[in-house]
Amino acid sequence: MAKKRRRKQKKFVVKKKMVIILGVMIILAAIIAVIFLTKDYGSDIDGTVVNMPAENLQTNDENSSQENDAGDWYNLPGYINGAEKDAEQVICGMTLPYHVQDTPIVIEGIGQYTGPFVEDGNDEPVANALAIVVRNDSETDVEYAEIKLSASDGEEVDFHIATLPAGKSAVVLEQNKREFNASETLTFSDKLYAAAEEMSLMEDEIEVTAEDGVLTLKNLTEDSLGTVYVRYKNKLNDDYYLGGITYSCKFENVDAGESVEAQTKHFTVDGSTVLMVKAIEE
């Protein structure tokens, strides 16, 4: 009889512990759910986490429903929700917007980025990476530019921009995956800049069609075009490119009237924009 009583007591104790553990798990799950639902993460396909400019927070009746349905909300470095677009602000010791001397490039924001590191083409995930928002404030396309800043720890901070059309903006990640630190001071150090002579799409000679991961190029002429390069950038949304990087897709032996396909790792129909097509005679 004593043994049976001890077994019943053990079973009761085990059941009581299981109930307590289950109760604690339910409470923790509820707390996590509340934190997740109330925290403003943004709705961002690529994983960027920064703040929206005010003009993107205000939508008119014509397109607000479409944007909300698509969930196409992104956050950009250096902006404060509700702030005026051109309002001056100081971030990491730099007064923004900052006009890079002797170039049409304006640094509009500084902040942190979490998502794929696109600048080297490998797309390895990074967290809290230093990023800037730049705009080409001119009617001339930027072929290539480098912006070098000095950090308060003595390190050089480097941003590269390849192909930025006139009037367009991009979120550019620091080349060495430096972490964002709001308390450090950044100062302008040096720059490299080259304007683009022409960014032609060769529409009278070439037709480019796309599917996700595949570009098809058709020679519309009666002459061989040799080797053709298609350069494109990826979009963060309709207003900003993601990364200073510009991708290049090479087509060889593009003969008269022929169509040639090429596999692309980064091109998507909705997320990419062809900027330039260039044929090189061999």
> Tens of pLDDT along 204-237?
999 999 988 899 999 999 999 989 999 999 999 8
Res. 151: pLDDT tops 90: yes
**Same domain, yes or no, for 71 and 27?**
no
**Same domain, yes or no, for 166 and 86?**
yes
Among 167, 195, 223, the domain-final residue is 195
**Same domain, yes or no, for 78 and 163?**
yes
- 201 within domain boundaries: no
In 3D space, the residue among 101, 100, 49 whose CA is nearest the CA of residue 75 turns out to be: 49
Q: Which residues contact 58 (CB under 8 A, 6 or more apart)?
A: none
**Same domain, yes or no, for 75 and 187?**
yes
- 48 within domain boundaries: no
**In this predicted structure, what is the pLDDT of residue 281?**
76
Tally of structural domains, the chain: 3
User: Are 156 and 123 spatial neighbours (Cβ–Cβ below 8 Å)?
Assistant: no
**Same domain, yes or no, for 104 and 71?**
yes
**Same domain, yes or no, for 104 and 26?**
no
**Same domain, yes or no, for 61 and 118?**
yes
**Same domain, yes or no, for 188 and 225?**
no
Res. 164: pLDDT tops 60: yes
**In this predicted structure, what is the pLDDT of residue 220?**
96
Domain that holds residue 3: 1-39
- Which residue has better confidence, 83 or 153? 153
Res. 60: pLDDT tops 90: no
- The single-letter DSSP state of residue 84 is -
Q: How confident is the model at residue 32 (pLDDT cuts 50, 70, 90)?
A: very low
Check: pTM over 0.75? Answer yes or no. Answer: no
Q: How confident is the model at residue 197 (pLDDT cuts 50, 70, 90)?
A: confident
- 46 within domain boundaries: no
- 114 within domain boundaries: yes
**Same domain, yes or no, for 61 and 186?**
yes
**Same domain, yes or no, for 135 and 68?**
yes
- The single-letter DSSP state of residue 11 is H
Q: How confident is the model at residue 23 (pLDDT cuts 50, 70, 90)?
A: low
User: Are 191 and 181 spatial neighbours (Cβ–Cβ below 8 Å)?
Assistant: no
**Same domain, yes or no, for 158 and 226?**
no
Res. 267: pLDDT tops 50: yes
**In this predicted structure, what is the pLDDT of residue 89?**
86
> Tens of pLDDT along 89-126?
889 999 999 999 999 999 999 998 989 999 999 999 99
**Same domain, yes or no, for 115 and 235?**
no
